[in-house]
Chains A and B, each alone.
Chain A
Amino acid sequence: MPTEGIPQNAEYLYLGLVVVFGILGAYAASIFWRFRNLQKDQQLIKQLQEEDSTH
C-alpha cells in the first residue's frame, strides 16, 4: 500500500490509545480498590463488634 503523502502521525494514535485504555483501566482499578477498602472496613467493624461483646 503506498504511504507517500500520508501524514506520519502514528505517535498521536499511540498516545490516544494509552489515554483510552489508561483511563478505562484506572477506573476499573478504582472500583476494585474501593471494594477492597470497604471489605477492610467491614472486617474492622466485625472485629470491634466482637471485642465489644467480649467486654
Chain B
Amino acid sequence: MSAVKEMPVQQTSERSEGDSMLRTRLLQGLTVITMLAVLFGAYVALFVVGTDATQGEVQRIFYFHVSAFAAAFIGFSVGVVGGALYLWKRHEKWDALALAGIEVGFTLSLINLITGMIWARPIWNTWWTWDPRLTSAAIMCLTYAAYLMLRNGIENRELRRRFASIYGILAMSTVIFTLIIIRIRPDTIHPVVIEPQIATQGAATDAEGSFTMSVTISQTLGINSFIWSVFLPLTLIWWRVRLQNAAEHVEQLKAKLLEQ
C-alpha cells in the first residue's frame, strides 16, 4: 500500500499534511470495515439462510445480484450529483466525484449483469435472452462504458468535463428505465421478487424463476443491500476520487515541466 500512502492527494498549500493523514487513516479504516462487512454479508448469504427448494444453491446469487444493482444505482446517482454540481459551480472536484461515481457504478453494474446471466443458465436454460429487462440492463452498461471511453477522447479539459457532466446526467435515464421496466412490461420473463404487488396489473406475467420472499430471505437481502449500497460505493468512490486528484496533480507537474 506504500504507493497509495505516499501519493499526495492535494497540494499541501490547500490542505495541511495532518489533515491529509487523518483522511488517509479514515479511508483505510473504512476500507477494512467495508471488506469485513462484505464478507459478513456473503457469510450470511452462503451459510445462514436456507437453500431455496425450487431453485437450489444458485438462488443465493440473488443476494449479490440485487445488491450489486443497488450499489450501482448509488454510484450512478453520485455521477448525476457530481455532474450537476460541476455544471453549477464549475469546480473540477465535482467532475472528479462524478467520474468516480460512474466508474464505480459501471463496475458494480457489470457484477449485476454477469451474475444475472449465471443465474439464468440453470433457471432459464440460457445464458442470455433479448428480454426487455436484460436488454435495458445491457444498454445501461454500454451507455456507461461509452461515457468512460468518450471522456478520454476529448483533449480540452473544460469541454471534457462539461460533456461528461451532461452525459452522466442523461445516462441516468437508462438506470431508471432498467429499474422500472419489469414493473411496466408484461412480456418480460425477469421475475419481480421485491414487492411484486407494486407491479402494474398484467406486468411480469411471463416471469420465470420467481420465488417467495421469506423473512430470512428478506433479512439477508436487506443486510447485503445495505452493505453493498452504503459501504462499498462510499469506499470505492473515495479511493477513486483520491486517484483522480493525484492524476490531476501529476498532470499539473507535467504541464509545469513542459513550460520550463
Chain A contacts to B: CB under 8 angstroms: 1, 3, 5-10, 12-13, 15-17, 19-20, 23-24, 27-28, 31-32, 34-36, 38-39, 41-42, 45, 48-49, 52
Q: Which residues of A contact B4 (CB under 8 A)?
A: 32, 35
Known: A9-B56, A45-B254. A31 touches B111 (CB 8 A): no
Interface size class of B (residues with CB under 8 A): 35 or more
Q: Which residues of B contact A39 (CB under 8 A)?
A: 3, 6-7
Q: Which residues of A contact B247 (CB under 8 A)?
A: 34, 38
Q: How far is the CA of A39 from the CA of B2 in the complex (A)?
A: 10
CB atoms of B3 and A32 under 8 A apart: yes
CB atoms of B107 and A27 under 8 A apart: yes
CB atoms of A16 and B118 under 8 A apart: yes
CB distance from B206 to the nearest CB of A (A): 21
Q: Taking the complex as formed, is B253 at the interface, i.e. its CB lies under 8 A from any CB of chain A?
A: yes
Q: Which residues of B contact A16 (CB under 8 A)?
A: 58, 60-61, 64-65, 115, 118-119
A-B contact count (CB 8 A): 103
CB atoms of B51 and A49 under 8 A apart: no
Known: A5-B53, A12-B118, A52-B260. A20 touches B64 (CB 8 A): yes
Q: Which residues of B contact A13 (CB under 8 A)?
A: 57-58, 60-61
B239 is contacted by which of A31, A42, A49 (Cβ under 8 Å)? A31
Q: Which residues of B contact A3 (CB under 8 A)?
A: 51
Q: Which residues of A contact B257 (CB under 8 A)?
A: 45, 48-49, 52
Contact with A along B10-35 (1 / 0, CB 8 A): 00000000000000000000000000
Q: How far is the CA of A35 from the CA of B5 in the complex (A)?
A: 9
CB distance from A48 to the nearest CB of B (A): 6
